[in-house]
Amino acid sequence: MPPLFTTWRENLLALAFPPRCVGCECDLRDEAVGLAALCSVCREDLTIYAGPQCHKCGAPVVFAGATECPHCAGDFWKFETTFALGQYDGLLRHLVLQAKKVLHEDAARALGDLIVEVRGESLLEWRPTHNMAVPMHWGRRLWRQTNSPEVIGERIARGLGIPALSRALSRKRYTARQALSAPSVRRRNLRKAFAVRGNLTGARVLLVDDVLTTGATAHSCAAALKDAGAEAVAVAVAARSFT
């Protein structure tokens, strides 16, 4: 099992502040844990998909390799595949919401570590060469003081040993609250909302976000990445939402 803390600074911090489960805040010192700071009870509570998933959108499907997915049939996306931990529900939803808050980056780190633990092997099989998080507009970033996809992405990059390019992808426009818009409106709002710095010829980009809902944001990012030369884009998210 990989150690929970890997740098001297983290070891010092662990002495001063004993590790706590990000789900229930219990003391993790006596718990045999994996990479993510979650106790065994919370791990059981998480709605992680163990069965077959849609290759394209990460939703559960009836059998492996199924081509008919009720959730993404008819959607045209610029990304090739999605890796999701599970449905946006229960404790997974709670952790995603916590991760968005400043001073709660431990939840974002745990989600990144959990993706490495649960989907790490499949992610490496996809052979990513670059890791990028869906960026937040600088104005919103200043207001929120944190961008959970960035923190989740850093943990995935570190766990899998692939370079994280945090500044290569940026958000050009401040877009309205996307969750409240219809899918067609979301797509229109996001058209050309992202910009890429540099040349990505031949890159296989792992694009990290916290949740995949309509796929509009990931699609728009993937379009910008492909315009910059990326060969393929895979999306890694903590949760797949259907609303």
Which position among 28, 37, 42, 236 is part of the footprint of Zn ion (CB under 5 A)? 42
Which position among 57, 84, 162, 208 is part of the footprint of Zn ion (CB under 5 A)? 57
Q: What are φ and ψ of residue 223, in 5° steps? A: -65, -45
Q: What angle do helix axes 148-160 and 105-125 make, rounded to 10 degrees?
A: 50
Closer residue to Zn ion (CB): 42 or 46: 42
Q: How far is CA 226 from CA 43, 76, 198, 203, in A?
A: 36, 15, 12, 9
Stretch that binds Zn ion, among 52-60, 102-110, 159-167, 199-207 (CB under 5 A): 52-60
CB of 91 to Zn ion, least distance (A): 9
Residue 236 in contact with residue 206, Cβ under 8 Å? yes
Stretch that binds Zn ion, among 71-79, 149-157, 159-167, 196-204 (CB under 5 A): 71-79
| DSSP H or E stretch at residue 4 | none
Give the residue carrying structure tokens 């393929």. 232
Task: Work out whether 72 is an interface residue with Zn ion (CB under 5 A).
Answer: yes
Taking the C-alpha atoms of residue 172 and residue 193, their distance in angstroms, rounded to an integer, is 5
Binding pattern for the stretch 103-122 against Zn ion, x by CB under 5 A and - elsewhere: --------------------
Which position among 21, 156, 205, 224 is part of the footprint of Zn ion (CB under 5 A)? 21
Closer residue to Zn ion (CB): 69 or 235: 69
Task: Work out whether 54 is an interface residue with Zn ion (CB under 5 A).
Answer: yes
Taking the C-alpha atoms of residue 121 and residue 49, their distance in angstroms, rounded to an integer, is 15
Task: Work out whether 123 is an interface residue with Zn ion (CB under 5 A).
Answer: no
Residue 128 in contact with residue 121, Cβ under 8 Å? no
Residues that bind Zn ion in the complex, under the rule CB under 5 A: 21, 23-24, 39, 42, 54, 56-57, 59, 69, 71-72
